[in-house]
Structure 1
Amino acid sequence: MTWPFTRRARETWTDAELLAAFAAGDARAASLLTERLAPPLLRFATRLLSDPVEAEDVVQDAMIKLWHIAPDWQDGGAKVSTWLYQVARNLCIDRLRKRRGTDLEDADQVLDERPSVQEHLIEKDRYDALQMALNDLPARQRQAVILRHIEGLSNPEIAIILEIGVEAVESLTARGKRNLASALASRKGELGYE
């Protein structure tokens, strides 16, 4: 496989093609794949852990696992991004279990404590309210809602990541959305939605 290192390559090569190029010794492919996959993975891990520093560690560990399996990757199976989300999810679950034994529902909440400037206060309040409401969801609902509505993955992709059926994903997502709406309904005015 020749490597046409152009801006167009960034947009046209699939994740699997980039992974194959990396496995063949092209470090530029790893760089492009990291640029493509790490940001959404970091958002996902941050939402699950409520801790950006810990989420960065999860992303780093997941990417390292990807680089290790690169030579053995079988194109035509799972998508690279789906496999990576599944690895990150499992790493997050491990970290949450270490925080609080095995009860994922009681995982510690770490709120974003960055100082905000005046024009970002409402957005920060909205983000915090959503994060708190997400943290109150059962773990599987929280994961399904984040993957579907924040990360924009399809139900079949989520089913692979969560290791459940598509119908179960639809059910988890619907219940999660209802629970979020219920949790946030009383705060509409406070958050500037009325």
Structure 2
Amino acid sequence: MHERNEPDADAALLARYAAGDPAAAALLAQRLGPRVYAQASRILGDATEAEDVTQDAMMRLWRVAPDWQTGQAKVTTWLYRVVANLCTDRLRKRPATSLDAIAEPADPAPSAAQHLQNVARADALQTALDTLPERQRMAVVLRHIEGLANPEIAAILDVGVEAVESLTARGKKALKGALAGQRDALGYDDE
């Protein structure tokens, strides 16, 4: 889970940037950039696209800085919503590809068994996430990987809290089904 920033701290940094303080932009980028990248990476399943989305989202944040009104929305909520929308745009532009047509990524060098197991687990999770409809995937990533609360997710996805609960419940159920039968291969005990 990520450490949560105080809501006013991000808005204060954004206001400082809007007033001409470049150090505030650097601090805000250090605080929010990794979170934005992680969200985009989980939703898109592609590091290069996630980097592009991160840059685009941060540029949009810098553009709205002069007009930002503290108290109307948390900077992180606004930013997560921008990332969700950018990811949706990218997902819609992708050609439909079957999972069988995608080549397995090659491991460039042998490494420790635990590292390989962790990679296998992460790959299995990403593959399972990729099978979810995009709204379910976004809700599951934001709730269970980014650790956001349902009301914040509702604001990001522009839906009600009940819809978020439904999306995450259906997403978790689909993930469970997608990952069924892989327990032993991924090194999980029945405990």
TM-score for both structures, normalised by structure 1:
0.86
Contact 1:105 1:139 in 2 (8 A): no
- Runs of 5+ in structure 1 lacking a partner? 1-9
Between the aligned partners of 1:47 and 1:175, the Cα distance in structure 2 is 18
Aligned counterpart, 1:118? 112
Q: Which amino acid aligns with 1:115?
A: P
Secondary structure of the structure 2 residue equivalent to 1:40: helix
Between the aligned partners of 1:184 and 1:50, the Cα distance in structure 2 is 17
Between the aligned partners of 2:40 and 2:82, the Cα distance in structure 1 is 11
Between the aligned partners of 1:160 and 1:105, the Cα distance in structure 2 is 32
- Asked whether 1:183 is paired with 2:178, we answer yes
Aligned counterpart, 1:174? 169
**Given the alignment, which residue of 62, 79, 88 partners 2:57?**
62
Q: Taking structure 1 as reference, are residues 44 and 137 closer, same or farther at Cα in structure 2, changes over 3 Å only?
A: same
Q: Percent of pairs identical after alignment?
A: 58
The one-character-per-residue Cα deviations of 1:61-113 (angstroms, maximum 9, x if unpaired) are: 1100100110000111111011111111111111122222xx7999x978765
Q: Taking structure 1 as reference, are residues 148 and 181 closer, same or farther at Cα in structure 2, changes over 3 Å only?
A: same
Q: CA deviation at 1:40?
A: 1.1
Secondary structure of the structure 2 residue equivalent to 1:14: helix
Aligned counterpart, 1:80? 75
- Asked whether 1:192 is paired with 2:184, we answer no
How many residues are matched?
Answer: 182
- Asked whether 1:24 is paired with 2:19, we answer yes
Higher RCO (C-alpha under 8 Å, 6+ residues apart): 2
Q: Taking structure 1 as reference, are residues 188 and 161 closer, same or farther at Cα in structure 2, changes over 3 Å only?
A: same
CA RMSD of aligned residues (A): 2.4
TM-score for both structures, normalised by structure 2:
0.87
Between the aligned partners of 2:35 and 2:184, the Cα distance in structure 1 is 30
Contact 1:145 1:173 in 2 (8 A): yes
Between the aligned partners of 2:97 and 2:59, the Cα distance in structure 1 is 25
The one-character-per-residue Cα deviations of 1:157-194 (angstroms, maximum 9, x if unpaired) are: 10011110001001111111111112112100000002
- Runs of 5+ in structure 2 lacking a partner? none
- Asked whether 1:46 is paired with 2:54, we answer no
